[in-house]
Structure 1
């Protein structure tokens, strides 16, 4: 491994859906443990802080919103977090102590709307960026707001250029191309997708972007959600709601760690950034292998506020 190389980690944890502060404490502890094992970058799952309400329908058949669904949303809203709140401050403190770079999935509260958001934390600078999921999938659209193009930046860190694409956003070719055009080197994929097919997607993206890909999904059982959670998967406390599958892939599609379905764990791999240039020798999708004379992509990165004040 070259002198620029470093160890990275993928944290396959379960959130505590009813207690975001306790989840943040768990994440902060994991940051410190991973740093103690030599890691300098760690990626956590989608919606770790705030929770991913697997199996819930929020009482919303077509044309009806049931009272119990409104109450379920109120409870979920109360477990969401502000970017400047105490939960992320705990994780940022652990990052500052260890010098780690952290990518972590949260349910972000902004006004009366919540968003599925990936937060970038740099140990030397604190919170340096966020990415709101552009397109919630299926029933997620009932409870999460939509992101816009203003939170799709790749972040410069001492380790290199880091970007996050959340769950099924990874199936959006134009979003991937936007990330590749920004020179993403360490492509982070927080997810709730624990299917066998997910591993193939992660390997494809690594090969397509000639970048390292780090994917993290929760390993969580029904018991963690508590007795009041509505679950289409039943109420057996031992039911596995999400089974993990975290993995790390190199720029030529070689799997360096995972996929792991064994339980809560932290996966590690040593990453050599020199592999990126070697891999792009024969394929740079946003460079020498592009055909801008035939194909072009326009990306609107302006924030889309519902109300814009014009004038004094």
Structure 2
């Protein structure tokens, strides 16, 4: 058996140092409770600025919005920065594999990224969100197929699909084809309908699904941070809904709403093996003579210098 943990907690928006410190404390707590893999929410380090427009509408931008964007950039982290080093050390110290949602800064572009960190090897993989949703595209760049990484753990192969990427059937199929056994879904979607999506993924992929969402209140953000749209939860900007599901679609832990919590479950990959008796989306239930998928895993660059 392999003990996994899903961390449902509030970020410290725009403060990478404080958010990393909170992550370090939570990793220690997971380890103290026997957890061997910890999955954190989308944008846990950097923050998810729900309800914020950055002063934009079609054909117009504001100076105040640009200043707000500057603050958002200041809270993002680089893959070679000290925050990633601290996460690697926490992983090593406590013997916990990590899936960590961050806002990544690369040059002058931000990405919504999930890091995969191994206690012995450090940062072994990353996934940049391929398709930021709606106005997320204003502040996040698009990932490419070179970041469909996986991570080997004693409990199985880990892969990560972020938030509404889980509504992309071909994205899911690619991850099943990569042999993902522990399918991690960091998200900012706290709607009740998200649970149906996660159960569908578990049954379709015959995989364990670990989904993590923040619980965060308006007062977690700086007092002058603009939330320009009335949100369904009022001052509750995200209400959680984190969950752990097995390959049959049975819920092992959660969902939990409206409070910070760490969900735990013991998983056994034999359950996945048994589930494939009657279904394998990329094997005996596939019809490659009718349907096929090509995945481009080459990195894409806007400028290449050759000599």
TM-score, length-normalised on structure 2?
A: 0.97
Q: Partners in 2 of 1:233 and 1:266 — Cα distance? A: 30
| Equivalent residue, structure 1, for 2:156 | 160
Deviation, structure 1 residue 164: 0.2
Partner of 1:301: 297
Residue 36 (structure 1) aligned with residue 11 (structure 2): no
Q: Work out whether 1:140 is the aligned partner of 2:157.
A: no
Q: For residue 218 of structure 2, what is the aligned residue in structure 1?
A: 222
Matches within 5 A, 1:99-178: 99-178=95-174
Other-structure match for 1:261: 257
Q: Which residue of 2 aligns with 1:282?
A: 278
Q: CA offset at residue 273 of structure 1?
A: 1.0
> Partners of 1:36 and 1:233 in 2: how far apart?
40
> 1 CA distance for matches of 2:297 and 2:275?
29
Determine which of 41, 47, 67 is the counterpart of 2:63. Answer: 67
- Preserved contact between residue 21 and residue 86 of structure 1 (Cα < 8 Å): no
Aligned pair count reads 306
Q: Secondary structure at the match of 1:54?
A: coil
* SS of equivalent residue, structure 1 residue 75: helix
CA distance in 2, matches of 1:27, 1:205: 27
RMSD between aligned residues: 1.3
Q: Deviations over 1:12-52 (max 9, x none)?
A: 01001031111111111111111110110110000000000
Contact residue 14 and residue 76 of structure 2 kept, 8 A: no
Moved more, 152-161 or 102-111: 152-161
Alpha-carbon offset, residue 154 of structure 1 = 2.2
Q: Could you tell me how far apart the structure 1 residues matched to 2:134 and 2:228 are?
A: 15
Inter-partner Cα distance in structure 1 for 2:206 and 2:288: 19
Q: 2 CA distance for matches of 1:164 and 1:152?
A: 8
Look up the match of 1:193.
189
1:205 and 1:238 mapped to 2: Cα distance? 30
Q: TM-score, normalised by structure 1?
A: 0.96
Partner Cα distance (1:262, 1:56) in 2: 21
Instruction: Find 1:84's aligned residue among 76, 80, 87.
Output: 80
Q: Is the 8 A contact 2:6 2:244 kept in 1?
A: yes
Aligned residues of 1:202 and 1:249 also touching (Cα < 8 A): yes
1:24 maps onto 2:24 in alignment: no
| Shift in Å, 1:156 | 2.1
